[in-house]
């Protein structure tokens, strides 16, 4: 059976239309990586904050907990710096809160810093900060400050610790 000239033109038009459609879809398609979704998380500290009395000379380990991941299309991991400091002594919780809210550092107040921990927002790791309390640490109330800094933004927390002898 032989095709009429009219049928051949229709076939050629269909083939050319499909070829043009494939060429245009290749030109306007999205990059291969644009559909990738990544999990990005941060950290918060610490379950051990429920024990609010420490002793002079004690070695304290505080564990950072990863937060639930947020969805992102950014393929690059971002560094997070985790820090903890203990500042005091203060004679009362009220004096501690007043000094920290006003940014005042009374005479005799010292700060003990844990070594900063560097992690990233992609890898879930078991990070832990360690504080070695001096054996001659004065008793009183201390501010435990925690902070996770990522890309210039910080999230922090705090707790009041009673250091006893």
DSSP assignments along 34-85, one per residue: GG--EEE--EEE-GGGG--EEETT-EEEEEEEEPPPEEE---S--EEEEEEE
Whole-number mean pLDDT of the chain? 84
Interatomic CA distance for residues 158 and 45, integer angstroms: 9
Beta-strand relationship, 53-55 and 153-164 = parallel
pTM for the whole structure? 0.74
Give the pLDDT score at 111.
96
Predicted confidence (pLDDT) per residue in 24-67, tens digit: 555 554 455 557 888 898 999 987 766 689 999 999 999 999 99
Interatomic CA distance for residues 165 and 163, integer angstroms: 7
Give the pLDDT score at 151.
85
Give the pLDDT score at 61.
94
Give the pLDDT score at 103.
86
| Contact criterion met (CB below 8 Å) for 145 and 116 | no
pLDDT band at 129 (very low <50, low <70, confident <90, very high): very high
Which residue, among 100, 86, 91, has the nearest Cα to 139 in the 3D structure?
A: 91
Tell me the mean pLDDT in the region 151-163: 90
């Amino acid at each position: 059976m032989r095709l009429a000239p009219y049928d051949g033109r229709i076939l050629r038009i269909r083939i050319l239309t499909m070829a043009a459609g494939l060429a245009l879809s290749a030109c306007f398609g999205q990059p291969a990586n644009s559909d990738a979704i990544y999990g990005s998380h941060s950290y918060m500290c610490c379950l051990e904050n429920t024990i609010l009395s420490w002793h002079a000379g004690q070695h304290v380990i505080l564990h950072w907990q990863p937060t639930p991941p947020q969805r992102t299309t950014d393929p690059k991991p971002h560094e997070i710096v985790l820090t903890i400091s203990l500042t005091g002594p203060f004679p009362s919780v009220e004096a501690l809160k007043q000094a920290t809210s006003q940014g005042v550092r009374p005479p005799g107040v010292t700060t003990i810093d844990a070594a900063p921990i560097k992690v990233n927002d992609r890898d879930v790791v078991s990070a832990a900060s360690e504080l070695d309390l001096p054996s001659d640490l004065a008793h009183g109330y201390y501010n435990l400050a925690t902070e996770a800094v990522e890309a210039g933004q910080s999230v922090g927390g705090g707790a009041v610790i009673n250091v006893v002898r």
